[in-house]
Amino acid sequence: MNKQRSPLFHIVRRGALPWYATWGIRGGAVLLALLVCGVVTMLVTGEDPFKIYLAIFNGSFGTPRKIWVLLQNISMLLCISLAVTPAFRMRCWNLGGEGQALAGGLASAACMILLANKLPNWAVILCMIVTSLLAGAIWGGIPAFFKAKWNTNETLFTLMMNYVATQLVAYYCVVWESPKGSGQIGVINPNTQIGWFPTIGSYKYLLNVIIVAFVCVGMYLYLRYSKHGYEIAVVGESERTARYVGIKVDRVIIRTMLLSGALCGLTGLLLVGSTNHTLTPNIVEGRGFTAVMVSWLAKFNPIWMVLTSFLLVFLSRGAGEIATNFGLNQSYGDILTGIILFFIIGSEFFINYRIQFRREAGKEG
């Protein structure tokens, strides 16, 4: 007889679950999270839970304008998430989306301010596109270069680059301030509208949505069917394997981070050129960090990212609506978003692992 005590349960790695099961688990986690959020909100405000959920829904779908804002927020978040994804697939944690987008935004604002009245409108816009993509790429390329050459920790490096970019933008906000002494840039070229992206019909945000949709499909094809995408996947799985099959790992790292940075720059371009027509140090609104979660939750799959970015934007807008309706401050939204993220993050465990109890193990043995 085996007298050794075995623990009550132990944890076993699961094989691949079918997609409906994994999304079932995630969906369950979201529902559970919403339940908890409802209960928490009920305790804080004393409102009845049905009203709370209605408020969450209304936050996104209440009026046509809110739907457009929802779409705009989704497309910006999605764009930056798509941008960081190729790096993540390579297990290169690019936490610098924020800074790279700011660099892009700074470049396009610079073009709008400095080139106005010197070049025709179409040339200004062309310059904006080129410089902002380039600025983002440089901002992402610097950490990548050191990562490839000396294996410098890219998580910490890109993180620090965010704040360098923030301060750089803050610097130029004072340099280009208008009116003088305000410390803010204000709307750029409000009368001539030079460098403003054209609006399609009367829909201010439609252009952004269309561009990001193209980027999304393009990224899916790039990662799935191109040689580059394959190389990224191999480097991500095992650098040694990649080296063995003759992939130049450092080149792949730099190339991928350049792409990643350039797409973040595109987000900055869209934010400055097409949406806000101004530049502030917090114009990206922390999306560079939220993007990490969006991308990770979708398991780095561009198509699923549409869903996860919708989810996060929907929830944060809903939480904002709760805050306004029930007289709480806007930070309440952050708390709810945090709770929901904890649940979704925790649910991944049940997708990857299985808990085996002692009795069950005994039977199998």
Minimum Å gap between C-beta 173 and other proteins is: 8
Whether the Cβ atoms of residue 140 and residue 100 lie closer than 8 Å to each other: yes
Among 5, 13, 227, 240, binds other proteins (CB under 8 A): 13
- Find all residues with CB under 8 Å of 95, minimum gap 6, and list them: 155, 158, 159, 162, 288, 289, 292
Tell whether residue 36 is a contact of other proteins (CB under 8 A).
no
Looking at residues 282 to 321 of the shown chain, list those that interact with other proteins (rule: CB under 8 A). 286, 289-290, 292-293, 296-297
Count, residues in the chain: 365
Tell whether residue 160 is a contact of other proteins (CB under 8 A).
yes
The interface region with other proteins, picked from 25-33, 239-247, 272-280, 348-356 by CB under 8 A, is: 348-356
Tell whether residue 349 is a contact of other proteins (CB under 8 A).
yes
Tell whether residue 12 is a contact of other proteins (CB under 8 A).
yes
Looking at residues 49 to 108 of the shown chain, list those that interact with other proteins (rule: CB under 8 A). 93, 95
Tell whether residue 6 is a contact of other proteins (CB under 8 A).
no
Tell whether residue 233 is a contact of other proteins (CB under 8 A).
no
Tell whether residue 9 is a contact of other proteins (CB under 8 A).
no
d(CA 332, CA 112): 37
Which x/- pattern over 105-144 shows residues binding other proteins (rule: CB under 8 A)? ----------------------------------------
**Residue 308, token pair as written in the block:** 């996860």
- Residue 209: C-alpha distances to residues 73, 80, 148, 163 (Å): 9, 13, 34, 28
Which residue pairs from 61-68 have beta carbons closer than 8 angstroms and sit at least 24 positions apart in sequence? 62/321, 66/317, 68/203, 68/204, 68/205
d(CA 183, CA 255): 37
Where on the phi/psi map is residue 336: left (φ > 0), alpha (ψ -120 to 50), or beta?
Answer: alpha
**Residue 45, token pair as written in the block:** 């405000």
Among 25, 54, 249, 341, binds other proteins (CB under 8 A): 341
Whether the Cβ atoms of residue 60 and residue 202 lie closer than 8 Å to each other: no
Among 67, 126, 221, 345, binds other proteins (CB under 8 A): 345
Tell whether residue 164 is a contact of other proteins (CB under 8 A).
yes
Site size with other proteins, rule: CB under 8 A: 52
Closest CB to other proteins among 263 and 323?
323
Closest CB to other proteins among 68 and 326?
326
The interface region with other proteins, picked from 55-63, 201-209, 240-248, 329-337 by CB under 8 A, is: 329-337
Tell whether residue 156 is a contact of other proteins (CB under 8 A).
yes
3-class DSSP state of 283: coil
**Residue 137, token pair as written in the block:** 């790429």
Whether the Cβ atoms of residue 294 and residue 74 lie closer than 8 Å to each other: no
CA-closest candidate to residue 84, choices 23, 152, 22, 158: 158
**Residue 232, token pair as written in the block:** 């990224």
Q: How many CA atoms lie within 13 A of 180 on its CB side?
A: 0
Whether the Cβ atoms of residue 6 and residue 354 lie closer than 8 Å to each other: no
Tell whether residue 263 is a contact of other proteins (CB under 8 A).
no
Tell whether residue 170 is a contact of other proteins (CB under 8 A).
yes
DSSP code for 353: E
Tell whether residue 7 is a contact of other proteins (CB under 8 A).
no
Tell whether residue 250 is a contact of other proteins (CB under 8 A).
no
Among 192, 199, 238, 352, binds other proteins (CB under 8 A): 352
Q: Please report, as ranges, the residues that interact with other proteins according to CB under 8 A.
A: 11-13, 93, 95, 146, 150-153, 155-157, 159-161, 163-164, 167-168, 170-175, 183, 286, 289-290, 292-293, 296-297, 328-329, 331-335, 337-339, 341-342, 345-346, 348-349, 352-353
